[in-house]
Copies of this chain bind each other. A is one copy, B any other.
Amino acid sequence: MFESAELGHEVDKASYREEALRLREALLTAQLDLKQRGEFPVVIILAGVPAAGKGETANLLTEWMDPRHIATHAFGAPTDEEAARPPFWRFWRVLPEKGTIGILFGGWYADPLWHWDDWDEPRLARRIERIVRLEKMLADEGALVFKFWLHLSRDKLRQRLKALEGDTRTAWRVTREDKRFLKEYDQRIEQCRELLTRTNLADAPWRVIEGWDTNYRNLSVAGQIHDAIMHQLGRETVSQNRVDAAPLVHSIDGVRLLDTLQLEHSMTKARFKDRLELAQGRLNGLMREVAQRKLAVVAVFEGMDAAGKGGAIRRITAALDARQYRVVPIAAPTDEEKAQPYLWRFWRHLPPHGRLAVFDRSWYGRVLVERIEGFASHAEWMRAYNEINDFEAQLVDAGTIVIKFWLAIDSDEQLRRFKEREATGYKRFKITDEDWRNREKWDDYVDAASDMIERTNTPYAPWHQIGANNKYHARIAVLDALCDAIEQRLKQED
């Protein structure tokens, strides 16, 4: 959920000035149009780690827009009046009316995060269910619901608190609670991740923004609000090159999750052979234990064309007996599959206990190729993130180890491999016109894959991004990660 918001996004001063001027005017126009039409309200929830800029963001929005039609609400300890009524009463009383904008600090998320440790799971689950229902109702009533999570990595949070404390003018802003958050950062962030994943609705998705650089934060938040209001008003969005709606993970500074991955590694063929033998032996032993414990394994391979999925998969299967595994290649759905919900064709190939199923491409096609090519509607691929998370949770609950690989190469490497395939007789079947067409949509795929990793990188079914310009390295990295994941799960059984 937070991967893209730890990349060190920045926008330089000159670009900011220019863009801010333009955006500010556009946002004001959108707001006035919203008010004039009076057809739906806009609810903006600002949440996030401490000192990530929630207050500054609220101030910015109020400053940039007409203050008569935008109001900010913070929720401290309940007032007497509030305490005497159901917990959500305080939110209902400040809901913005149609045509207006309400900014809610923390909104209905502050409570569950605050009480995460002292509420038991049924209570927490009930509250989360109520939040989901409330947002569903708001969306059904036509409200535009923004949920911004302003994020800082642990290091950045430490730096920020230190800087604030070091200046007498700002030291008062650092609370004891902020320091506690920093101290318990890993644990607290896991709670946040769980809450965000469980409340990441198709109609009201979380928008995670890195809170470090003010310029980047301002343009990201204001830009997304502008685009979505314009979209809802039925106008063209400012970002022209989007098919359907605003992208989920904005990258206004051109820095994207997948762009930051190290792609080059060195590994000689000899070293590869040594390590391969070791890793395959290890996998073979582990799979026998998997069978004994009645567990199962699902390995998912995604990546750009020619990223080396097939080669990595063959190094896995070579370690196993043919009865232990099944490779499921996913191409376009058959007629029979088209006549079913899209997850159906994956359910039918789930491995029984003791087996490994390797998916060469997978259910993630819904949020990659189907999203990009428009085979799935915006609503369809937006709800797919939740459906997929739920699907994988069911697998894990039933004793399946789920591991997902994104094999990453850069555009030059892909070109080199495409040309090599065309030149090599026995590889020529691997390259088609479609591959060349997909290559032209490289950037769309990077956007979609970044969203995908952000929104489906769950603790129970994590993504492994593997730099794969060097095939040897990639194959070993895949085998090692697979073995580690199995080993970790087996340890839990002990």
- CB-CB under 8 A from A121, the residues of chain B are 122
Q: Does A140 contact B (CB under 8 A)?
A: yes
CA A109 – CA B477 in complex, angstroms? 43
CA A347 – CA B85 in complex, angstroms? 10
List A86-123 residues whose CB lies under 8 Å from chain B.
Answer: 86-89, 92-93, 95, 97-99, 121-122
- CB-CB under 8 A from A85, the residues of chain B are 296, 350-353, 398
Q: Are the CB atoms of A86 and B141 closer together than 8 Å? A: no
**Max chain B CB contacts within 10 Å: which of A38, A92, A133?**
A92
Q: Does A412 contact B (CB under 8 A)?
A: no
Instruction: Across the interface, name the chain B residue whose C-beta is closest to A141.
Output: B341
Q: A84-B294, A294-B84, A336-B97 are in contact. Are A350 and B129 (CB under 8 A)?
A: no
Which residue in B97, B129, B140 is a CB contact (below 8 Å) of A383?
B140
CA A121 – CA B125 in complex, angstroms? 10
Q: Are the CB atoms of A86 and B400 closer together than 8 Å? A: yes
A135 to chain B, nearest CB (A): 11
Q: Does A372 contact B (CB under 8 A)?
A: no
CA A365 – CA B350 in complex, angstroms? 48
Instruction: Across the interface, name the chain B residue whose C-beta is closest to A136.
Output: B383
Q: Does A66 contact B (CB under 8 A)?
A: no
- CB-CB under 8 A from A92, the residues of chain B are 343-344, 347-348
Q: A125-B125, A352-B81, A383-B140 are in contact. Are A95 and B394 (CB under 8 A)?
A: no
Q: Does A77 contact B (CB under 8 A)?
A: no
- CB-CB under 8 A from A390, the residues of chain B are 130, 133
CA A395 – CA B88 in complex, angstroms? 10
A152 to chain B, nearest CB (A): 32
Chain A, 145-163, contact with B by CB distance < 8 Å: what is the 0/1 string? 0000000000000000000
- CB-CB under 8 A from A129, the residues of chain B are 125, 129
CA A92 – CA B398 in complex, angstroms? 15
Chain A, 335-350, contact with B by CB distance < 8 Å: what is the 0/1 string? 0100111111001101
Q: Does A482 contact B (CB under 8 A)?
A: no
CA A347 – CA B394 in complex, angstroms? 37
A204 to chain B, nearest CB (A): 14
CA A213 – CA B394 in complex, angstroms? 41
- CB-CB under 8 A from A350, the residues of chain B are 85-86, 89
Instruction: Across the interface, name the chain B residue whose C-beta is closest to A400.
Output: B86
A473 to chain B, nearest CB (A): 34
Q: Are the CB atoms of B394 and A88 closer together than 8 Å? A: yes
Q: Are the CB atoms of A398 and B341 closer together than 8 Å? A: no
State how many residues of chain A have any CB contact under 8 Å with chain B: 54
A257 to chain B, nearest CB (A): 27
**Max chain B CB contacts within 10 Å: which of A41, A85, A348?**
A85
Which residue in B98, B130, B133, B397 is a CB contact (below 8 Å) of A86?
B397
Instruction: Across the interface, name the chain B residue whose C-beta is closest to A84.
Output: B352
- CB-CB under 8 A from A398, the residues of chain B are 85-87
Q: Does A137 contact B (CB under 8 A)?
A: yes
A111 to chain B, nearest CB (A): 13
Q: Are the CB atoms of A339 and B97 closer together than 8 Å? A: yes
- CB-CB under 8 A from A336, the residues of chain B are 97
Q: A87-B398, A387-B133 are in contact. Are A347 and B93 (CB under 8 A)?
A: yes
CA A390 – CA B137 in complex, angstroms? 11
A429 to chain B, nearest CB (A): 32
Q: A97-B340, A348-B92 are in contact. Are A130 and B38 (CB under 8 A)?
A: no
Q: A99-B339, A336-B97 are in contact. Are A394 and B130 (CB under 8 A)?
A: yes
Known: A95-B341, A97-B336, A141-B342; 10 extra A-B contacts, CB below 8 A, are: A85-B350, A86-B350, A86-B400, A87-B394, A88-B394, A93-B348, A97-B339, A122-B125, A125-B129, A130-B390
Binding site for B on A (CB under 8 A): 38, 41, 81, 84-89, 92-93, 95, 97-99, 121-122, 125-126, 129-130, 133, 137-138, 140-141, 143, 294, 296, 336, 339-344, 347-348, 350-354, 379-380, 383, 386-387, 390, 394-395, 397-398, 400
List the 3 closest A-B pairs by CB distance, nearest first: A84-B352, A97-B339, A86-B398
| 28 contacts across the A-B interface (CB closer than 8 A) | A38-B339, A41-B339, A84-B294, A84-B353, A84-B354, A85-B353, A86-B394, A86-B395, A87-B398, A88-B347, A89-B347, A92-B347, A93-B347, A95-B341, A99-B339, A121-B122, A125-B126, A129-B129, A130-B390, A130-B394, A133-B386, A133-B390, A137-B341, A137-B343, A140-B379, A140-B383, A141-B341, A141-B342
